[in-house]
Amino acid sequence: MKFFVDTADVQAIRELHDLGMVDGVTTNPSLILKSGRDIIEVTREICAFVEGPVSAEVVALKAEDMIAEGRKLAEIAPNIAVKVPLTWDGLKTCKVLSGEGRMVNVTLCFSANQALLAAKAGATFISPFIGRLDDINLDGLELIQDIRTIYDNYDFKTQILAASVRTVNHAKDCALLGADVMTAPPAVIKSMANHILTDKGLEQFMKDWAQTGQKIL
Ligand code: G3P
């Protein structure tokens, strides 16, 4: 499973990138707001060191305007994936931009039928939002499973990019279900390294080591 980092915080992306954990980046208008940066500038800075796809989201609502915004965002770097919402206009935009050979990430997906339409419109990535479905007592992971089944049934090439990943269990379950990509905030990716038994075991090793009176260096 590929790891995308869901942030526009350049420092946080760099830290994970140095560890080889970054296969791509996803941003959205809320994350751009959080960064306090200009969308073009910050996206260019990210694309300068991240080799994989970097999603930059359009904000227009009509296809014609979305297409123009998408083309402008795609000029930032060759690894830009234009992110469009899963609306009818977003699907039209997806069809046009993917036909021009650009990567398109169709976002705000909350149903298998939406994912089916995105695949037919030529999406490179479909972004089902797990956490936001869980928030309203629906099953986000069941959606990942359904999309996996449908895409495999018909050999769609659109990659499932599990989004709104909030917990380490979401991350593990996405991997078990065969999501192609997961995008998660840096804190979630980092907390995948944590385990209470690792901490406990290390504490005991440190105590025992101190009693040996030895040094390695
Ligand atoms: O990738 C989409 C993501 O940014 C949404 O996450 O936690 O706001 O639902 P969240």
DSSP characters over the chain? -EEEEE---HHHHHHHHHTT--SEEE--HHHHHHHTS-HHHHHHHHHTT--S-EEEE---SSHHHHHHHHHHHHTS-TTEEEEEESSHHHHHHHHHHHHTT-EEEEEEE-SHHHHHHHHHTT-SEEEEBHHHHHHTT--HHHHHHHHHHHHHHHT---EEEEBS--SHHHHHHHHHHT-SEEEE-HHHHHHTT--HHHHHHHHHHHHHHHHHT----
Q: Which of 2, 83, 172, 200 is catalytic?
A: 83
164 CA distance to ligand 1 centroid (A)? 4
Residue listed under structure tokens 């209470």:
196
Residues in contact with ligand 1 by the CB-under-6-Å rule are: 6, 26, 28, 129, 131-132, 163-164, 166, 183
Range of the domain at 188: 2-212
Write down the pLDDT at residue 91: 98
Q: What percent of the chain has pLDDT over 70?
A: 100
30 CA closest ligand 1 atom index: 4
135 CA closest ligand 1 atom index: 9
Residue 180, domain member (yes or no): yes
Q: How confident is the model at residue 120 (pLDDT cuts 50, 70, 90)?
A: very high
Write down the pLDDT at residue 179: 98
Burial 158-169, CB ≥16 within 10 A → b, else e: bbbbbbbbbebe
Residue 88, domain member (yes or no): yes
What is the mean predicted confidence (pLDDT) over 139-168?
Answer: 98
Q: How confident is the model at residue 206 (pLDDT cuts 50, 70, 90)?
A: very high
What residues contact residue 189 under an 8 Å CB cut-off, 6+ apart?
3, 5, 16, 21, 171
Residue 134, domain member (yes or no): yes
Backbone angles phi, psi at 13, to 5 degrees: -65, -45
Write down the pLDDT at residue 103: 98
131 CA closest ligand 1 atom index: 9
Q: How confident is the model at residue 185 (pLDDT cuts 50, 70, 90)?
A: very high
Residue 109, domain member (yes or no): yes
Write down the pLDDT at residue 169: 97
What is the mean predicted confidence (pLDDT) over 6-34?
Answer: 98
Residue 125, domain member (yes or no): yes
32 CA distance to ligand 1 centroid (A)? 12
What is the mean predicted confidence (pLDDT) over 88-111?
Answer: 98
CATH of the domain at 96: 3.20.20.70
Residue 217, domain member (yes or no): no
Q: In testing the pocket of ligand 1, which one of 129, 134, 182, 183 has its CB within 8 Å of the most ligand atoms? A: 129
Q: What is the pLDDT of residues 159-177, one digit of tens each?
A: 999 999 999 999 999 999 9
Distance between terminal CA atoms of the chain? 38
Q: How far is CA 172 from CA 108, 111, 120, 193, 207, in A?
A: 21, 21, 28, 12, 32
203 CA distance to ligand 1 centroid (A)? 35
Residue listed under structure tokens 């990210």:
46
Mean pLDDT, all residues of the chain: 98
Residue 153 has which token pair? 């049934």
As for how many domains the chain has, the answer is 1
Protein residue closest via CA to atom 4 of ligand 1: 164
Q: Say whether 62 is catalytic.
A: no
Write down the pLDDT at residue 155: 98
Residue 186, domain member (yes or no): yes
Residue 175, domain member (yes or no): yes
Write down the pLDDT at residue 162: 98
